[in-house]
Chains A and B, each alone.
Chain A
């Protein structure tokens, strides 16, 4: 039991707990906050996996921007809780059964088939550093990178158009 493993176990438990918290909270605001916690732990995992740039992006983009947007919309609409519903009585048990089967399949894959394991080489120090990622982004992946800017612009225009009040009415 190395220190690494203990740290992983604790963080993993926190992440799963946070995810379950998001799933089970009645209040949407709590759900959002649990998700932020989950994102934070995942960011720590990224650092452990030699991906500091992605970890920073995770914190700033996901935990920061996106989740703030969620909270903002939840509070704007005032839809923290919803009244209980009678529709689709079979949905919930069926969903649980399917989720269990899915988890079982994953377990089988990991334990019986040993799909991915083995000694892991130690990468060079600069692996995953912002510098290396930047080099890759602006050399080999310049075109996709530029296209994401168009995608974001389209998303932005789309959001504005969708939420705009109809002047015709």
Chain B
């Protein structure tokens, strides 16, 4: 029994969900809105699971066309869903993790909209979230590069919308355009990547006369034999797209800023699913990459360098979400390196396990932030300050423009009276182990999985990539990734000690409260997956490899290399020990600088300031761009076109001509006289002719007879 006919429903379910919420959502309570959205995502998961079950019986790729799309000349594209083991794997991850995050978001957004005093945005959030699921499903189920691109752009749009979800404030809720700037940054960085993707698509169509996967892959070996440069160009332009979407060097800069979005968004889009689209793209294009080893090497190096680079930055961050953001970039580097080396199964494996534990970490971080906010709120109420507006009271009437201005005013008032409190700053935390025990244990599981400690999921997947790099003689990649793994364990250890151990460094941390069950239960599911997710592809059993083999024929079964496992585990444990020595043994005091700062000096400053990449981009590109814009505006547009061309050339010539040729004499005696004479003549002529029209019918009849006589005469004597 197969369920392939369910293929379109993986997109239809979320679309139905968002339509229901758009049309009827204003009548629903928050619970119903959240349930509808979660149900839509959950049904998509069920459909994906049924598709996967169908594939166990018919493992060949199944294509389900629902309609014609573009038929122009040789470009023949239909709207076709592709169900194969690779796309189904992605569907399961997207809808599975997505559903858990939907459920979590019901609890998270309930509090978030109250802290920020705009209850109406609750519904908007879930509409965007469902739209994202639908777009992601189009991305992974598309049967051609163009359909993939539709999803690619769609998720980019959702990312933009959700990063700028609180567009009129910054992450601390102060009136500012910081959040929308972050959204724009993500959009622009992604545009550069999309440009590469588009060029790759054009080249592909030019080369293969098709964008459909099977047709492209079929011809790839032939073309690669005759014209390898072309395939290399295509794959490298695709890599540009990958660096944009999957946040690799040099386009990763948008991802840390994307943490401006609500935490479920960071977890779903900017950690678990959307950013892995680039990895999926490389895995999907495996047939192209294996024909050009040079491109593979470049991809692997980009991934490995990104992994290490981002990991070092993560060490110097203080914001709990920023650490995780750089960690995500780093882990994406692992995946890209994996698929770049040709270890497609390992890369996909790490993608799946990373989705589990990074979602877990982000959501737990969200829980921590909420706990801190609750603590801070409790505090300000306790001290008799003006309370946070909005808590628990129905505020729907305040979502009018006046309402939002009022909110901004109140917020500013608050900022005048109180110090700025950042609930996401780890320097404010400490000792949360006691106040938020459930979150602590969940966070710990995520950390161990990420650090790659046996037997958590991350250990198996990261190790597989390392082993493949080792075995395939990508020595540089292997060492870069190994060092990155060391840093990973270190910054995660640092985070755990700073957040959960020691003493509270801020009153809010002391009064932090544990999150409700709707938040912690999805986390527990993810924690279980983070522990046992490695079972998907235990060495020797290789479930995932065998599963993906049906789609990617270039997969080689991985091999467990004991030395590699020992080295990486040993390094990870050493890193955690090191972090304990630095942050656990003598916990940070309030306002005490990071102990690494003393030891490393300028190197730590570099880590803290993200190696000045943003500043460098500003100096290299953005300010240059502004200079060019200013130059074109000042020099070209104003000085050249306006001052010189318009004023001097056109107006000057015109003035000269009019002064020379149309002086007083020519004007008055020549032109004026002519036209006045014409008018005078017309006036006189009409005065004379007016006599003819005297109103006497007899006279008119006389002229009629005159005409008759004249015409008759003409006819007779012509």
Contacts and interface: CB of A to CB of B under 8 A. Distances in A.
Contact of A95 (B694, B696, B702, B708): B702
A87 interface: yes
Contacts of A99: 705
Interface in B159-201: none
B496 to A, nearest CB: 103
A102 B696 contact: no
Contacts of B705: 95, 98-99, 102
A97 to B, nearest CB: 10
Interface residues of B, number: 12
Contacts of A105: 709, 712-713, 716
Contact of A108 (B694, B702, B716): B716
A95 B702 CA distance: 7
Contact of A88 (B696, B706, B708, B713): B696
B709 A91 contact: no
A109 interface: yes
Contacts of B718: none
Contact of A98 (B694, B696, B702): B702
Nearest to B710: A101
B699 A88 contact: yes
Interface in B667-718: 694, 696, 698-699, 702, 705-706, 708-709, 712-713, 716
A109 B698 CA distance: 27
A67 to B, nearest CB: 22
Contacts of A1: none
Interface string A91-135: 100110011011001001100010000000000000000000000
Contacts of A109: 716
Given A87-B696, A88-B696, A101-B709, A94 B716 contact: no
A108 B717 CA distance: 10
Contacts of A113: 716
B698 A88 contact: yes
A95 B713 CA distance: 17
A88 B703 CA distance: 13
A169 to B, nearest CB: 26
Interface in A119-155: none
Interface string A56-70: 000000000000000
A102 B702 contact: no
Nearest to A115: B716
Contact of B709 (A87, A88, A102): A102
Contacts of B699: 88, 91
B675 to A, nearest CB: 36
Contacts of A94: 702
A112 to B, nearest CB: 9
A141 to B, nearest CB: 29
A98 B713 CA distance: 12
A96 to B, nearest CB: 11
Contacts of B702: 91, 94-95, 98
Contact of B698 (A91, A98, A102, A108): A91
A95 B708 CA distance: 13
Contacts of A108: 716
Contacts of A102: 705, 708-709, 712
B484 to A, nearest CB: 103
Contacts of B696: 87-88, 91
A105 B702 CA distance: 17
A105 B705 CA distance: 13
A133 B708 CA distance: 33
A88 B697 CA distance: 11
Contacts of B716: 105, 108-109, 113
Nearest to A113: B716
A101 B712 CA distance: 10
Given A88-B696, A91-B698, A91-B699, A98 B706 contact: yes
A93 to B, nearest CB: 11
A9 to B, nearest CB: 27
A98 B699 CA distance: 13
A105 B718 CA distance: 13
Contacts of B709: 98, 101-102, 105
A115 to B, nearest CB: 10
Most chain B beta-carbon contacts within 10 A, residue among A87, A98, A108, A113: A98
A98 B716 CA distance: 16
A135 B705 CA distance: 39
Contacts of B712: 102, 105
Contacts of B706: 98
Contacts of B694: 88
A98 B698 CA distance: 14
A105 B712 CA distance: 8
Nearest to B705: A98
Nearest to B701: A95
A116 to B, nearest CB: 14
A68 to B, nearest CB: 26
A19 B21 CA distance: 98
A102 B696 CA distance: 22
A99 B449 CA distance: 123
A105 B696 CA distance: 27
A105 B717 CA distance: 10
B182 to A, nearest CB: 81
A2 to B, nearest CB: 31
Nearest to A100: B709
A90 to B, nearest CB: 9
B714 to A, nearest CB: 10
B76 to A, nearest CB: 63
A108 B696 CA distance: 32
B395 to A, nearest CB: 71
Nearest to B713: A105
Contacts of A88: 694, 696, 698-699
Interface string B594-617: 000000000000000000000000
A99 B712 CA distance: 13
A129 to B, nearest CB: 36
A91 B716 CA distance: 26
Contacts of B708: 102
Contacts of A98: 702, 705-706, 709
A57 to B, nearest CB: 28
A3 B718 CA distance: 40
Interface in B105-129: none
A101 B698 CA distance: 18
A98 to B, nearest CB: 5
Interface string B220-237: 000000000000000000
A59 B694 CA distance: 39
A94 to B, nearest CB: 6
A95 B706 CA distance: 9
A99 B709 CA distance: 9
Contacts of B698: 88, 91
A98 B708 CA distance: 10
Interface in A22-79: none
Given A94-B702, A105-B709, 7 more contacts: A88-B696, A91-B702, A98-B705, A98-B706, A102-B705, A108-B716, A109-B716
8 contacts: A87-B696, A88-B694, A91-B698, A94-B702, A95-B702, A99-B705, A102-B709, A109-B716
Interface of B: 694, 696, 698-699, 702, 705-706, 708-709, 712-713, 716
6 pairs of A and B residues whose beta carbons are closest in the complex: A98-B705, A101-B709, A105-B712, A102-B709, A98-B709, A88-B696
